[in-house]
Amino acid sequence: MLLKWSQSVQWFGKNVSKWIFRLHIDIRTLDLYPVNTSDGGLGVTEFVDVKNMTRWIQRDGVEPIMASMVEYLEADFARWEAFDKVARVASHTPFGVIELMPTSDTKEYAFKYVNGHPFNPARGFQTVTAFGMLADVDNGYPTFLAEMTLLTALRTAATSAMVARRVARPGAQVMAMIGAGSQAEFQALAFRALMGIDQLRVYDVDPAAVEKLRRNLQPLGFDIQEAGSTSESVVGADIVTTCTADKARATILSSEQVPAGVHINAVGGDCPGKTELDPELLRRAKVFVEFPEQTRVEGEIQQMAPDFPVTEFWKVLTGAEEGRTSAEQITIFDSVGFAIADFSALRCARDATAGTDLQTYIDLVADPEDPKDLFSLVNTLKPVG
């Protein structure tokens, strides 16, 4: 067998065994890992559908999964500069937005398809749906495809708690939640898993949403108090999570409502023309972001001047920049969601389900025996004569 540096080498041929090992060799690393090809062919892709994503979450538990996911997130954020980064590609309509979120390192490429349609629940549809994929950078073949509506909910909450653990005041005990929609339970569980917070002060314009959250979380041991307004919810809170769905330039929180020392987890402002925070509150705070080029277009800081100062969270994680600098400082995580977090979430899901019945396999890529003879797969012509 001939080995070539910086080249993928295949052992045993494409159909010798159900398991094929691909040997990746370069000057720095030697990685050997199995790729299940089901009934043969490298075009077969590992797949986790909605049913199996649900089974995985029920099997391992929401909080343990998010704690594990944070390990993947921190590992990938710590090597932020190794990734190819671009703001997501968005298609905006009066109904909502559809986006593609790509990124890659030197070995794997990832993308997520995601929508945001705030009027969907009134029609019986989810506000946000998503699916995503990992591919081998070496040959371009897709290796893993997964449901990401649930996975995005997990990674969004895990990212919020990861940031808060680094920049909120130590000893935080109470979280205000403004907005009790689909993301709310995941946020609450993430903050309990990472920071031990189980006291919630919840406000939503829809009382049924608060009741839904209470029904889901109270049996899990949360202390939940319903607030009559955003101002009431913030009283006594160490952390404030804003997560509303309306696509509008709204002021969910004014500067006057927020006392010194609070950490704000601003989740809802995630596309152009959609904000939740008073600009004056941003001026009072130290603002942390994922990818500034994207956040300045989609996040709370779209309201601010192009040179408004922000701190990239990966630099806090690696020690390149400071996080919170005083107990009185207001900190804000201007969360819009970035593709590297999806990359981490997909890796987490793939690794956790590998080798189990939670993964199935689909033929996603036409892969003829002769790579130059694609026509052989469809040739039904009869010879003339």
Instruction: Assess whether 270 carries a catalytic annotation.
Output: yes
Give the whole-angstrom CA distance, residue 336 versus residue 291. Answer: 9
Dihedral (CA of 108, 187, 92, 296) sign: negative
Q: What is the DSSP string of 176-242?
A: EEE--STTHHHHHHHHHHHH---EEEEE-SSHHHHHHHHHHHGGGT-EEEE-SSHHHHHTT-SEEEE
Residue holding tokens 């749906």?
Answer: 129
Cβ contact 166:317 at 8 Å: yes
Which one of 198, 238, 270, 342 is the catalytic residue? 270
Alpha helices in the chain (DSSP H): 50-60, 62-77, 149-167, 184-195, 207-217, 230-234, 279-284, 292-298, 313-318, 339-353
| Residue owning tokens 């010879």 | 383
**124: Cα separation from own chain's centroid:** 24
CA dist., res. 147 & res. 51, Å (int):
9
Residues acting as catalytic residues: 270
